[in-house]
Amino acid sequence: METQTAASAPSPSSISVPGPWRMAGRSLAANRSAMTALAALLLVTFACLLAPFYAGDVARTDPFTSNVAGSFMLDGHEVDIMQPNDNPLHLGLSPVGPTWNPSAYMLGADSQGRDVAARLLYGGRNSLLISFSAALVCIAIATLVGVSAGFFGGFVDTALSRLMDIMWAVPVYLFAISLSIVTISQGLKIGPFTIESDNLLIPIFIIALVYVPYAARPIRGRVMALRNAEFVMAARSLGVPQHRILLRDIVPNVSTTLVVLTPLLTALALLAESALSFLSIGVQAPAASWGTIIQDGEGLIYTRPMVAIAPGLAIVIVVLALNILGDGLRDALDVRETSRRGA
Amino acid sequence: MRLKSFLVFGGACALFATASATAFAEAPAPGAPASPHVGGTLRLAGQGMLGTMDPQVSYLHTAYQVLNVVYDGLTTFSKSPGSLTRQAIPDLAESLPPPEDGGLTYRFHLRHGLHFSSGKEVTPDDVAASMRRIFKVNSPTAGPYYSHIVGGAACLHDPDHCTLAGGVEPDDQNWTVTFHLTHPDSEFFDRLAFLHAAILPADAPTHDVGNDAAPGTGPYRIVSYDPNTGLRMERNPYFRQWDAEAQPAGYPDAITYTFGMDPEASVTAIENGQYDWMAENAPLDRLGEIGSRYADRVRLIDFLNLYYAALNVNIPPFNDLRVRQAFNYAINRKAMVIHAGGPAVSIPSCQLLPVGSPGFEPSCAYTRGASPEHPAQEWRAPDMERARQLIKEAGVSGQRVGIVSPSTPGYVAMANELRSTLADLGFVVSVRAITQAVQFTYIQNSDNRVQVGLTGWNADYPAASSYLQALLSCDTFTPHSDNSINISGFCDRSVDAIMDRAASVSVTDQKAGDALWAEASRAIMAQAPVVPLNQVRWVTLLSARVHGEIRAPIYEVVFSKFQLR
């Protein structure tokens, strides 16, 4: 019996124990909500990447040029983009509404006579690019700040933590608006380099900066916990240099926090970008973002609500998907949660 | 028997009381017109504030509409519908006096029996003091409109000790006020009709009164004003109508003005009967709705106005005439009309004189098939081919151009149209939208190096000079100043000479003067310091209870003429 048992039991070297990332991947894959959210995100991103193809080959329109005096063909008929309102005083003209025909102003036109569908896709490229880039930059800065403060402690911790406290004390949108107004009006000059006011780097860095305290604080807390962990103490007692402990023991163990934070910060950055662009201090015309398109639609809310609804809906879908995905990642990467599920 | 007598007596008393009350209710308030539609409170709504209530300082059109039912000048503009080019008429003066000394002297006879809302009688001394006060409060138009009164130049330099000695002479014996000018002025009556020449009591403070309005002579007096919330006007108990055209008696008993209502909210509130009138033009997205559902309550109001893009002629790329002309050829004015609400409410503009103003002659130098030498009668279409040719010759393609626009949606739409046009011509273009109150001074200061400033201009009074001379003469360009209304920084002495001649000839021969103003307009457009865009009609919505004719040129609407059902 014993022999049989010994023969049937796998040897320790042949046991295939999945790594934590693989376990997290499996856990995430099993989470239907997170997978649906990921699919929605990929779909939106893919559609936005096709913007030049849609504008150039399908809709055959320039989404950045005013075209109020123009016309287009619909079912063999020439249709004016701006159409007179039906009233006895002949007051006002309204942009053409949704035709639901992909090649002819599918979602209608905005007040500049531009194709809303094409602008929605181009706007999505900018919104997603800015929000994802801002989240990555924010994570990078927050990691530097949080790890330094948590690992070194003492004066470094005090100085960085107070700086974060000061930034945290200022409402995030007020902070972002203030920075945007300054940089949008003059551009940004850093030494020999000049960033023009319409450069996307400006909203990316502003949004990244204002969210640093929100990411740095949990990272610092995680590092402080790790600093006193047994394996770190052991490494210290063995005389492992600090930079090696930092890179080999601390940072890899913080990475799960960073992964969980990324989609959540992207969602926050997307909302911030939309708000700044809606206030004309984010993406600058003629470039589009979902925020600028909502602003374009504000004046058409009674007659052509689709101009504001379409980008609003896109923002809701993406933010919701990012939050669900973030929750899924947190569940998947949470060791205790995973252990409980495994048990 | 006793009971019967009591009942009879009681019934008689009740009948008497009812009859008295009815008679009392039907008796018009003092100074009110004899009409069944007298009474009620007119409720106005507006987005912005009205600023100071000092008639000699305020330069906001919305305040002008309020103050013109509170104050009067020696002359005024008719407060009844009519031509946009109507001249000034007598107001506190009995008549327009004939010019003496070759147009250097005017002797006004003041009407008798006029009173301020404080009860004080209006005297020639009040008129003289009011003229001095224009300088003492540093009225924005003290220099351009009134400094040619003898002593005016000295008053400009030392306002605190302004006497206008030898310039304005009150005569209590003959009840006259005599003005002496340094040079003849064909627009003198118009300038006296402008709000800044309002007559106030001689003891009115010699500083901007701000929120505490001084007594006036009009049918209403301001009883409360909070710049952040609102204003209330009630009847001036001392007002008696002297000329229905100059200052008509008011129908409403009181007028309230609520601030902070954006145009969208105002339209909805008027539709719901919560307000009677809104200060702003109806928003473009509501035009279709109000045009179809409330056509009988919509008023289209013609007034002298113009939207244009001022090109800075002193810095690249618009220091090159070919570039300025190219921009003028390329702009799609039909698009500008569409942005303003369509052909029912807007027409394209080809020159800086609006249609209907004195001196206007149809002429469009920059349209397909036309040129400054051979202008067309009206705008036809953009000439992109010619525009691109001019840009190629100038070699400026690829340069950066900045447009500074007010941040209101209508202006931003126009600015984006300009951006598209310039981008089509090969420029790298950016648009900066700034709050209108800031933008208007920002684009005037040459230190800000604004290349294209988008703005609009309403006439203070119907005269060609208030466009051409005010906006594009050498005298109105003041480098490094926020108060330099010649936004383009344009200065051409030969054009100035034509305008000076036009002003001079107009004193004696208005027709010949107008022809010279038309010539000046063509000469200016040959230099293309601006891109005229369009002229609009004002669309306003009234509540269901408002009726009567409320329109008047210059003022657009006259609040005292609103009749409430």
- Mean pLDDT over A272-296 rounds to 90
> For residue B23, is it within any domain?
no
- Mean pLDDT over A237-248 rounds to 90
> For residue B247, is it within any domain?
yes
Write down the pLDDT at residue A341: 44
CATH of the domain at B150: 3.40.190.10
Shared domain check, B466 and B550: no
Kindly tell me if the per-residue pLDDT of B2 is higher than 50: no
Minimum mean pLDDT among A46-50, A190-194, B285-289: which range?
A190-194
Burial of A192 (0-12, 13-18, 19+ CB in 10 A): exposed
How are beta strands B428-434 and B400-406 bridged, if at all?
parallel
Shared domain check, B341 and B195: no
Shared domain check, B362 and B496: yes
- Mean pLDDT over A33-40 rounds to 96
Shared domain check, B145 and B86: yes
From the list B288, B420, B424, the residue facing A92 with the nearest CB is B288
Residue B462 vs residues B191, B192, B554: alpha-carbon distances, Å: 10, 13, 8
Give the SS3 label for residue B455.
Answer: strand
CB atoms B288 and A68 under 8 Å: no
CA-based nearest distance B340→chain A, Å: 8
Shared domain check, B182 and B85: yes
CATH of the domain at B483: 3.10.105.10
Express each pLDDT in B139-178 by its tens digit: 988 988 999 999 999 999 999 999 999 999 999 999 999 9
Express each pLDDT in A23-33 by its tens digit: 888 888 999 99
Shared domain check, B545 and B500: no
CA-based nearest distance B534→chain A, Å: 15
Per-chain mean pLDDT for chain B: 91
Nearest to A109 by CA among A307, A271, A301: A307
Q: How far apart are CA B520 and CA B503, in angstroms?
A: 11
Write down the pLDDT at residue B9: 52
Shared domain check, B314 and B248: no
Kindly tell me if the per-residue pLDDT of A57 is higher than 90: yes
> For residue B281, is it within any domain?
no
Q: What percent of chain B has a predicted confidence (pLDDT) above 90?
A: 75
Q: Which residue would you say has higher pLDDT here, A193 or A276?
A: A276
Express each pLDDT in B407-416 by its tens digit: 877 898 899 9
Per CB-CB distance under 8 Å, the chain A contacts of B342 are 84-85, 90-93
Whether the Cβ atoms of residue B338 and residue B322 lie closer than 8 Å to each other: no
pLDDT category of residue B209 using cuts at 50, 70 and 90? very high
Write down the pLDDT at residue B410: 83
- Mean pLDDT over B358-371 rounds to 96
pLDDT category of residue B84 using cuts at 50, 70 and 90? confident
Kindly tell me if the per-residue pLDDT of A7 is higher than 50: no
Write down the pLDDT at residue B60: 83
- Mean pLDDT over B312-321 rounds to 97
Q: How far apart are CA B546 and CA B205, in angstroms?
A: 37
CB atoms A90 and B431 under 8 Å: no
Write down the pLDDT at residue A5: 41
CB atoms A298 and B433 under 8 Å: no
CB atoms B419 and A285 under 8 Å: yes
Shared domain check, B310 and B245: no
Question: CB contacts < 8 Å between A and B, how many?
Answer: 104
> For residue B170, is it within any domain?
yes
pLDDT category of residue A181 using cuts at 50, 70 and 90? confident
> For residue B297, is it within any domain?
no
Kindly tell me if the per-residue pLDDT of B179 is higher than 90: yes
Query: Which residue in B has a C-alpha nearest to residue A84's C-alpha?
Result: B342
From the list A197, A299, A304, the residue facing B283 with the nearest CB is A299
Kindly tell me if the per-residue pLDDT of B27 is higher than 70: no
Write down the pLDDT at residue B338: 94
> For residue B81, is it within any domain?
yes
Shared domain check, B221 and B90: yes
> For residue B269, is it within any domain?
no
> For residue B288, is it within any domain?
no
Contacts of A306 (CB under 8 A, 6+ apart): A97, A98, A107, A108, A116, A297
Write down the pLDDT at residue A333: 84
Write down the pLDDT at residue A280: 81
Alpha helices in B99-257 (DSSP H): 124-136, 142-146, 152-157, 188-193
Minimum mean pLDDT among A270-279, B148-157, B546-555: which range?
B546-555
Express each pLDDT in A102-123 by its tens digit: 999 999 999 899 999 999 999 9
Write down the pLDDT at residue A141: 96
pLDDT category of residue B62 using cuts at 50, 70 and 90? confident
Express each pLDDT in A136-156 by its tens digit: 999 999 999 999 999 998 999
Shared domain check, B215 and B184: yes
Residue span of the structural domain in which B527 resides = 305-536
Per CB-CB distance under 8 Å, the chain B contacts of A93 are 338, 341-342
Per CB-CB distance under 8 Å, the chain B contacts of A71 are none
Shared domain check, B557 and B496: no
- Mean pLDDT over B450-473 rounds to 92
pLDDT category of residue A10 using cuts at 50, 70 and 90? low
Cα torsion through B51, B57, B60, B61, rounded to 10: 130
Write down the pLDDT at residue B10: 53
Write down the pLDDT at residue B190: 94
Walk me through the domains of chain A, giving residue ranges and CATH numbers.
34-68+116-342 (1.10.3720.10)
Q: How far apart are CA B6 and CA A192, in angstroms?
A: 104
The phi and psi torsions of A28 (rounded to 5 degrees) equal -65, -45
Number of compact structural domains in chain B: 2
pLDDT category of residue B316 using cuts at 50, 70 and 90? very high
Shared domain check, B458 and B385: yes
CA-based nearest distance A52→chain B, Å: 19
Per-position DSSP letters for A291-322, written without gaps between them: HHHHHHHHTTTTT-THHHHHHHHHHHHHHHHH
Element (H, E) at B525: helix B510-527
